[in-house]
Amino acid sequence: MKERRNAMPSIISFGAGTLGVAVTLWLAWIALTSDAVPVVGTARGALIAMAVVGMAACAIAGIGQAPVIGWTHPISIIGSVFGVVAIVLVAAGLFGWDGLVRPVASFVPGTATLELTTERLAIVALAAVVAVKWVVGVALEVLIQTRA
């Protein structure tokens, strides 16, 4: 078992990370169902807020706990890869790289009432990646708890 120097207790970090994921997914839901998003205003603002909150959640519960299991552990590597994908999706939404996120439109229900802009498609994709990263975080927490 690796020594846990300078690491936040994993159950606290997992709880804080889960709260960040919940806020991120709430922002996505609001941005995809309304033209006005509380506090951040627009879909673009929601995408930026999702990136900030998601990165903070990952820093607390994901990458912040990676040293406990090791940087080359498969869970650390998978989490890092999905993190890079998330950053690319945010960039796609902000810089208008429509070709990168347009395929996501096929996963959005046909009853969507709002226009599927590049930003909104990036939000859909980012929400999916955040959900997957949370599942990776669950696996990380289970691994840490079984090693304790």
Reading the chain (148 residues) residue by residue, the pLDDT tens digits are: 444 555 667 788 889 999 999 999 999 999 888 888 888 888 899 999 999 999 999 888 877 777 878 889 898 899 999 999 999 999 999 999 999 999 998 887 765 567 889 999 999 999 999 999 999 988 888 888 887 6
**Predicted model pTM:** 0.88
Q: Is residue 2 part of a domain?
A: no
Q: Is residue 5 part of a domain?
A: no
Report yes or no on 26 lying in a domain.
yes
Name the domain count of the chain.
1
Asked if 102 and 121 count as a contact pair (C-beta separation under 8 A), the reply is yes
Any idea what the Cα angle at residue 63 is, between residues 62 and 66, rounded to 5°? 95
